[in-house]
């Protein structure tokens, strides 16, 4: 047991060091423009070429990247009330209907125009419309996607995410958006959960909290979307082979259970069942854990590999992601929620 715990320490400690570096860099630069989460992500990416040579970092980095990020999100539920979450989540559903339609409708159309494999196009649309790498990983086995399709989709969505982490806080201030408007925009238009956190908290604490709620509401759409594609793939294979196929869709394999734990913490906080003296430490700890997780995500991100992806997937991902950003903002503008 002790030996196993020791194997996690190198990668975990390195991620913690990156988090402290990010806090320091944020404190001596323009914090209003570049948040500490953005620094954590990019410091990790800079260190990736050196760290990847040493396998003893892997276990700790993997733990920080996956489990710690979810724990951080769950912990941040102590800063929110149930009424607030339900109000934000309900309104975000309206915006999400438009962004999901844009991502999948526009994505499949553009894929046909560019003569891309439909599975590749679907993965990029899922990554853009739902939750980045998590959605791509959930959808890939259901549609029997090839490894190259997965790689292209991950690259296309993540590169745009990196740009948005930098540009969203700047654009939000130039557009003079409110905290709730910016949180809703970020939560519905930025792809990966880690990027939403980085971009959201770079604007303000309140905007970051709102962005989490919206993002988690959006993440739940992964279940019906994967189910629909499962049916489509099943019918496609049955038509090609003439033999009735069975769907390989499983709710348990794609449902983001940590979202339920986040809402459980919100409910407990609303009912005053979490001691008041614990709320602040949990909130601060959650935000620091988020920085550690973002640093570890940077450590496993190979920028050179991402840039080697094909031009068509990159163009597809950029156009659809940009369309989602514009549609999300436009719907909010129309509904007067900016």
Is 1 domain-assigned? no
Tokens of 157: 């969505």
What does R_g of the chain's alpha carbons equal in angstroms?
Answer: 20
Judge whether 69 lies within some domain: no
**Alpha helices, DSSP H, located in the chain:** 2-28, 36-51, 58-63, 69-75, 82-101, 107-113, 118-126, 133-139, 147-174, 179-189, 193-203, 205-219, 222-241, 251-254, 257-270, 276-299, 303-307, 311-334
Q: What distances in angstroms separate CA 62 from CA 14, 261, 297, 299, 315, one per listed residue?
A: 12, 21, 8, 10, 30
Give percent of the chain above pLDDT 90.
Answer: 19
pLDDT class of 327 with cuts at 50, 70, 90: very high
Residue 100 in domain? yes
Count CB neighbours of 106 within 10 A. Answer: 19
Query: Which domain range does residue 216 map to?
Result: 80-290+301-334
Q: Let me know how long the chain is.
A: 338
**Which tokens go with 332?**
């909010």
Query: Which DSSP letter does residue 176 get?
Result: T
**What pLDDT does 260 receive?**
85
pLDDT tens-digit series, residues 275-306 = 888 888 988 888 898 889 888 988 987 777 66
The answer to whether residue 276 is domain-embedded is yes
Q: Report the pLDDT value the prediction gives residue 247, as an integer from 0 to 100.
A: 60
| Structural domain total, the chain | 1
156 within domain boundaries = yes
* pLDDT over threshold 70, residue 168: yes
Asked whether residue 97 is domain-assigned, the answer is yes
Q: How far is CA 275 from CA 175, 266, 281, in A?
A: 39, 13, 11
pLDDT interval class at 171 (50, 70, 90): very high
For residue range 225-248, list pLDDT tens digits in order.
Answer: 888 888 877 777 666 665 566 666
Distance CA 72, CA 197 (A): 10
Q: Collect all residues with Cβ–Cβ distance below 8 Å to 257 and sequence separation of at least 6.
A: none
Q: How far apart are CA 68 and CA 132, in angstroms?
A: 18
Q: What pLDDT, on a 0 to 100 scale, did the predictor assign at position 1?
A: 61
Q: If pLDDT is split at 50, 70 and 90, which confidence band does 182 have?
A: very high
Contacts 24+ apart (CB under 8 A), 169-174: 169/32, 169/33, 169/34, 169/35, 169/199, 169/202, 169/203, 170/33, 172/203, 172/207, 173/32, 173/33, 173/203
Residue 323 lies in a domain: yes
Which residues make Cβ contacts (< 8 Å) with residue 272, sequence separation at least 6? none
The predicted structure's pLDDT at residue 248: 62
Whether 15 maps to a domain, the answer reads no
Tokens 């163009």 locate to 315
Distance (Å, rounded) from C-alpha 209 to C-alpha 76?
Answer: 8
């Amino acid at each position: 047991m002790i030996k196993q715990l020791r194997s996690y320490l190198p990668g975990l400690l390195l991620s913690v060091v990156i988090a402290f570096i990010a806090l320091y860099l944020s404190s001596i630069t323009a914090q209003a423009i570049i948040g500490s989460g953005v620094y954590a992500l990019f410091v990790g990416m800079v260190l990736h070429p050196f760290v990847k040579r040493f396998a003893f970092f892997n276990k700790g980095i993997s733990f920080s990247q996956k489990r710690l990020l979810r724990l951080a999100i769950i912990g941040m539920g102590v800063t929110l009330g149930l009424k607030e979450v339900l109000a934000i989540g309900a309104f975000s559903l309206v915006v999400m209907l438009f962004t999901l339609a844009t991502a999948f409708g526009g994505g499949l159309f553009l894929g046909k125009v560019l003569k891309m494999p439909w599975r590749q196009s679907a993965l990029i649309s899922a990554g853009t419309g739902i939750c980045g790498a998590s959605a791509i990983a959930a959808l890939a086995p259901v549609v029997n996607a090839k490894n190259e399709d997965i790689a292209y989709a991950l690259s296309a969505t993540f590169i745009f995410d990196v740009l948005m982490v930098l540009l969203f806080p700047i654009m939000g201030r130039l557009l003079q958006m409110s905290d709730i408007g910016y949180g809703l925009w970020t939560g519905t238009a930025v792809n990966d959960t880690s990027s939403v956190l980085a971009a959201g908290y770079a604007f303000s604490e309140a905007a970051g909290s709102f962005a989490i709620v919206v993002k988690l509401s959006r993440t739940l759409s992964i279940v019906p979307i994967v189910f629909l594609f499962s049916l489509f793939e099943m019918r496609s294979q049955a038509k090609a082979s003439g033999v009735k196929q069975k769907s390989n869709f499983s709710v348990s394999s794609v449902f983001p259970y940590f979202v339920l734990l986040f809402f459980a913490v919100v409910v407990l906080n609303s009912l005053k069942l979490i001691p008041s003296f614990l709320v602040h430490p949990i909130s601060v700890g959650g935000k620091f854990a988020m920085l550690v997780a973002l640093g570890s995500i940077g450590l496993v991100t190979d920028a050179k590999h991402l840039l080697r992806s094909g031009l068509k997937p990159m163009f597809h991902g950029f156009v659809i992601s940009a369309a989602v950003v514009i549609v999300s903002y436009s719907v909010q503008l129309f509904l007067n929620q900016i």
